[in-house]
Amino acid sequence: MIPVSKFLDKLPSVDASRRRFSWKYAARHFDDLGSVRVSLYVFFRHLIPGCLLAGWWFANHPTVLKGLPNLPLKPEFSLYEIGVLVLISICWQLSASGDMAIGKNLIRKQAIANVMGSFSCTAVLALFCYLHSPGESAVVLCAGFLAGTLVLSSALLGFACVLRWAILMFVVDKREVIIVGSGAKAEKLLEEMRESPMHQVVGIVDDEFVGTPAMKKLYLGKIERLNDLLKIHPVQVAYCTLPMKSMYGDAQRAITICENIGVEVLHSTHLFDTRFAHLDAFASAFGMFAILRMVRMSSTRYIKRLIDIAGAAALLLLSAPILIITAIVVKMDDGGSIFFAQERYGLNRKRFKMYKFRTMVPNAEALQVKYESMNEVDGPVFKIKNDPRITSIGGFLRKTSIDELPQLWNVLRGDMSLVGPRPLSVRDVLKIDDSNHLRRFSVKPGITCLWQMSGRNNTDFATWIRQDLDYIDRWSLMLDARILIGTIPAVLLGRGAM
Domain count, the chain: 3
DSSP 287-331: EEEEEEESS---THHHHHHHHHHHHHHHHHHHTHHHHHHHHHHHH
DSSP letter for 167, please: I
pLDDT tens string for the chain (498 positions)? 555 555 555 455 544 445 566 666 666 555 554 444 446 777 888 889 888 888 888 777 766 555 555 545 445 567 777 888 888 888 887 776 654 444 556 777 788 888 888 898 898 888 888 877 777 788 888 899 999 999 999 898 888 877 777 776 676 667 788 999 988 888 888 887 876 667 788 889 998 888 888 888 888 888 888 888 887 787 888 889 888 778 888 889 888 888 888 888 888 766 666 777 767 666 555 556 667 777 776 667 888 898 999 999 999 999 999 999 999 999 998 888 999 999 999 988 889 999 999 999 888 878 887 887 777 777 777 778 778 888 889 889 988 889 999 999 999 999 999 999 999 888 888 888 887 788 888 889 999 988 777 655 566 778 888 888 888 888 888 888 888 888 888 777 766 555
Domain finish residue from 251, 268, 285: 268
Is 68 a domain residue? yes
What's the CA gap between 442 and 419, in Å, rounded? 14
CA dihedral 225, 226, 230, 232 (to 10 degrees): 10
What's the CA gap between 291 and 284, in Å, rounded? 12
DSSP letter for 423, please: P
Please check whether residues 263 and 322 belong to one and the same domain: no
Is 291 a domain residue? no
Q: With contact defined as beta carbons under 8 Å apart, do 179 and 239 qualify?
A: yes
Domain finish residue from 104, 137, 171: 171
Domain finish residue from 220, 248, 268: 268
Please check whether residues 231 and 154 belong to one and the same domain: no
Is 498 a domain residue? no
Please check whether residues 115 and 243 belong to one and the same domain: no
What's the CA gap between 194 and 102, in Å, rounded? 24
Which residues form the domain of 124?
A: 33-171
Query: Distance from CA of residue 129 to its chain's centroid?
Result: 32
Q: Which helix (H) or strand (E) holds 205?
A: strand 199-205
DSSP 323-387: HHHHHHHHHHHHS--SEEEEEEE-GGG-EEEEEEE--B-TTHHHHGGGGGGG--SSSS----TT-
Q: How many CB atoms lie within 10 A of CB 457?
A: 18
* CATH, residue 181: 3.40.50.720
Is 289 a domain residue? no
Taking phi over 0 as left and psi of -120 to 50 as alpha, with beta for the rest, 345 belongs to: beta
Q: With contact defined as beta carbons under 8 Å apart, do 128 and 84 qualify?
A: yes
DSSP 61-129: -HHHHHTGGGTTTS----HHHHHHHHHHHHHHHHHT-GGGGSSSSHHHHHHHHHHHHHHHHHHHHHHHH
Encoded amino acid at 41, one letter: Y
Is 80 a domain residue? yes
Side-chain half-sphere exposure of 403, counting CA atoms within 13 A: 23
Please check whether residues 77 and 8 belong to one and the same domain: no
* Dihedral sign for Cα atoms in the order 344, 346, 352, 354: negative
Please check whether residues 263 and 404 belong to one and the same domain: no
Please check whether residues 308 and 365 belong to one and the same domain: yes
Please check whether residues 445 and 311 belong to one and the same domain: yes
